[in-house]
Structure 1
Amino acid sequence: MSRPSLDRVLVVIPAWNEEDALPGVLREVRAVCATEQSLSATDVVVVSDGSRDRTAEVARAEGVPVLDLPINLGVGGAMRAGFKYALRHGYDAVVQLDADGQHDPAAIPALLGAAHEHGADVVIGARFAGAGSYEARGPRRAAMRVLARVLSRVTGTRLTDTTSGFKLAGPRAVELFAAEYPAEYLGDTVESLVIAARAGLEIVQVPVAMRPRQGGRPSHSPVHAAIFLGRAVLALVIALSRPSSHTARARLHAAAEVKA
């Protein structure tokens, strides 16, 4: 199995009104990159997703470039902008990291290690794979189990956490997602995995521990959590009902032939 080159890594942080937690997250990423040899060529970009607070300002104050979107597109739209930026600037891999501090930057080397070990194109930082004490309850837990079961079959590998926003995308995935990353609700998680699997990309997961939000307000209220099940199932149905993108697979094959 071929091992992708992951020499240049870009950490993309989609952020919507995260001025409180973002500075601490950026300092943690910087500290991890300074101590981990595998991250020596790692850069960071913040995608301010239509933020109305000082998110963009605090990122620039930390010396980090910012993609300042004029309107809120959601995580999917913000990440597509990040993938386009990565492709344009020649990065080998993209790590998606939340701006609220729930994702531990110290786990990034584990994502990179899994990509190298398995030759994987997408590595998911899974919350329900034996690390940490994170739990989902009620309809949200039921939805996550259904999604994991179905998407495990679609991807051909056992997945326990298909809605994690802590992920690594290798070279082939960066090229694919720069063009086709979905922006709809849950599309950045559920549908992106379907798109990757249908394009023939290898997907694996590694266990990660989640932390409490470091600042700001949670994006999901109890009411939103109660309707998560219906939305999640709908997102999965939409993803599976869309025709497979032959263009995506052809683009990846063509790129591989050129590099060869």
Structure 2
Amino acid sequence: MGIDLEALFKTLGPMIGGASTGDDEAGGVFCSLMRSLVSFDYAVIFAYREKERPLDLYSTFTPEEHVIFVSLYQAGPFLLDPFYHAAREPRPGVWRMRELAPDRFFSSEYFRSYYTQTGLAEEIGFFVALEEGITVVLSLMRRERSGAFTAAEFSLLKKAEPVVAGLVRHAWPDLNRRFDAALAKRERGGRKSAHPAADRVWRNLNLTEREASIVELVLQGHSSESIGLRLGISTGTVKVHRRNVYRKLGISSQTQLLSIYLKNLGQ
């Protein structure tokens, strides 16, 4: 697919010196810009701040698809998403999912039970770090029938990153206020924090801090070797802690571990 320069210039023109736009208008500009460069099946834009429920700024999903890609994702699985963890670091730039995913991500229970429902062949994200710990991630997705983005397409998208970053800063200058408003709304509904169980889920199950760290990494898709390197302990020690966790929880599989995790997030 060649670059559609006419479409590109038509998209960029109204942005120059224009007033701040709404979510739908800014999302539409992003999609028009991307379609002048590459083809894709879906686009979605999330804003992340700490462990709070991400803000859904824009998407191209049908109502049925929105349930899987947005509603279900916001309910808890986002905490295991490689894009979420990259946003929190942050890691600005353009990234393929497979570049950010842990070494066992594609065989993890999270991938099998949630991510495969999306039917995606690949996801690429533009990561734009803003002030006050906020990162906006603009994702382009291709379903399996469309195949992955080529190396040439990915290179072209990386060149577009400065324009996308400029669009984000122009379109969403007040995200901190919006996160605060979402938090206040949840508090009025009886929730004490944006994602109340995120920090205490394992503590309520009587896991030690080290055990909690290890099972979080297990669910994210890290192997025992990867966990050991991240935590500075031996692979054998990781396996011992993991066996102890399974014994404490009375489980024998990662499927059961994920079920317990998501159940306690919802409490």
Q: Which has the larger radius of gyration?
A: 2
> Would you say same fold, with TM above 0.5?
no
Which TM-score band (shorter chain)? under 0.3
Higher helix share: 2
TM-score (norm 2): 0.25
TM-score (norm 1): 0.26
